[in-house]
Amino acid sequence: MKHLKVDYYLFIICVLIIVVFKASEYAFILILPVLAISYYRVIVKRDITTVLILMLSSRLIMGPFIINSNMSFNILNLICNYIPILIILVYNFSTLKSININKIKGLKWTILYVIFMMLFGLLHISYAITEFVKETLPLLLFLLVVLTNGENKINYLYLLRFFRYTFVGCLIIYLSPYFYNQIHYLFSNGVIFKESSYVVVRVGRSIPRNTGFVFDFRIMAQLACLYLLLLYYFNKTKNYWDVALLVTVAITTFSRGPLIILVFLLIAVYLPKKIRITKRVLVIGFSSFVFIIIGVVYVMNNDNLQKFVSTFNPFQDKNAFSQRGALIDYSLNKFYENPLGNGIGALSSPNADNVIYAGITNLHKEIPDKIYYYRVTDAYIGMSLAEKGIFGFILFALSFVEIFYSNRNRVSLFFLIGLILNLIGTDIPKQGFYYFAIILIYYGLSQLYSTQVSVKK
């Protein structure tokens, strides 16, 4: 017991996860100390790590503090997402003596891309303004933090501990009775997003998906990938309990795109350059084979899981990409009509006039219902081409590679490949502050590793 050290700040956040699911009306009791400790660390210690933790935990706080209150939600949005990072940036700029020219060179395409986004958004300001916080602001904040050396002050090992605490809390909730009823209640009664929302959180209407503490199964699985990267860059890949925890949480999200990324990362991290047949390798190989067989047998005896797994097959009629087919086709047609771009938000903004026919549903009816979408989501590459045009898309691609492949090793390459595949059928760069946290943590990790290698040489 002497070696068991409990971080009370992270422990409170872990308990808060459980309370929000089980008794959300009492969540404010834990939210107050979380905010108090967070702001003490941000204001007094200028701790950017706490800023990232507060952003990632914001959905535990904004809605549940005063349920169904627009004013409370909006104020806490400022308190969690805007004010802390503003405090850090003001301090960083006030103490900055000079900007490292090498950082400007290393992020030149991202700088040009952000400038392009802000200028091109002037074509349709009413459209672009709805997408600014989701797509442009994360990159702008990322540049401001990196150019003021903020990524060097992140305590990555503390972030690793944060993921341990929160993932344990999420797994406890997922495995507890009535998980689906609880998550359905939180969404339908506006506890999380201040107003009622309908989110599909079951596979085949029977198996619940783990939305985690971010209340989004996709983002939760992406954080599992980030968790693995933290283990990799700090030489903790033999912490198999950590790996088991993050893999279990990722699998329970049933989020196909991030699971593909995670598989790529696991291969990149654990596949040796040269394989020597040893007793240990044989034991691990045999154990993995047994687990795979057990998994296959289990899936084959569950119709819903069979349907889910079949969506990974690119030759299936209803695979992960084909389900976004109407949105991708619509986006590409808009791009062909205007290769120079239709303007930021022209397809993705709710203010834009888009009507997208996506087929029919409820085939049991005499006259089936038609499916219409009124904006493009989950088809980022096609949408980006149509909105930004060929030149804007090239800048985006160069910026994306610049951020995610700045450290040119096998893990970065596999991560980048997984992300690119995801962009066909998701919209990761439109995840707002979550995207900011992901790119800042990843870029900082990769630069930290590059610096260590340079010092050793």
Rounded Cα distance, 54 and 39, in Å: 9
Examine the domain organization and report whether 361 and 446 are in the same domain.
Answer: yes
Examine the domain organization and report whether 339 and 413 are in the same domain.
Answer: yes
Backbone angles phi, psi at 245, to 5 degrees: -65, -50
Give the end of a domain, one of 312, 338, 365.
Answer: 312
Backbone angles phi, psi at 443, to 5 degrees: -65, -40
Q: Which domain holds residue 401?
A: 102-153+321-457
Rounded Cα distance, 41 and 57, in Å: 16
Examine the domain organization and report whether 369 and 410 are in the same domain.
Answer: yes
Q: Is residue 282 part of a domain?
A: yes
Rounded Cα distance, 312 and 314, in Å: 6
Q: Is residue 124 part of a domain?
A: yes
Q: How many CB atoms lie within 10 A of CB 359?
A: 11
Examine the domain organization and report whether 295 and 329 are in the same domain.
Answer: no
Examine the domain organization and report whether 328 and 457 are in the same domain.
Answer: yes
pLDDT greater than 60 at residue 323:
no
Position with higher pLDDT, 2 vs 349: 349
pLDDT greater than 80 at residue 456:
no
Examine the domain organization and report whether 362 and 302 are in the same domain.
Answer: no
User: What's the pLDDT band for 283 if we cut at 50, 70, 90?
Assistant: low
Q: Is residue 212 part of a domain?
A: no
Contact 225, 416 (CB under 8 A): no
Examine the domain organization and report whether 308 and 427 are in the same domain.
Answer: no
Q: Is residue 452 part of a domain?
A: yes
Q: Is residue 219 part of a domain?
A: no
pLDDT at 424: 87
Q: Is residue 455 part of a domain?
A: yes
Counting the structural domains of the chain, the total is 2
Examine the domain organization and report whether 370 and 307 are in the same domain.
Answer: no
Helices (H), 121-212: 125-131, 137-147, 156-175, 179-188
Examine the domain organization and report whether 306 and 397 are in the same domain.
Answer: no
Examine the domain organization and report whether 384 and 431 are in the same domain.
Answer: yes
Give the end of a domain, one of 281, 312, 343.
Answer: 312
Angle subtended at Cα 82 by Cα 77 and Cα 88, rounded to the nearest 5 degrees: 145
Q: In the chain, what percentage of residues exceed pLDDT 90?
A: 66
Q: Is residue 251 part of a domain?
A: no
Examine the domain organization and report whether 364 and 300 are in the same domain.
Answer: no
Examine the domain organization and report whether 388 and 341 are in the same domain.
Answer: yes
- pLDDT tens-digit profile of 362-419? 666 777 778 888 898 888 999 999 999 999 999 999 999 999 998 888 999 999 999 9
pLDDT greater than 50 at residue 181:
yes
Q: Is residue 85 part of a domain?
A: no
Which residues lie closer than 8 Å to 414 by C-beta, 6 or more apart? 264, 265, 267, 268
- pLDDT tens-digit profile of 128-180? 999 999 999 999 999 999 999 999 999 999 999 999 999 999 999 999 999 99
- pLDDT tens-digit profile of 258-273? 999 999 999 999 887 6
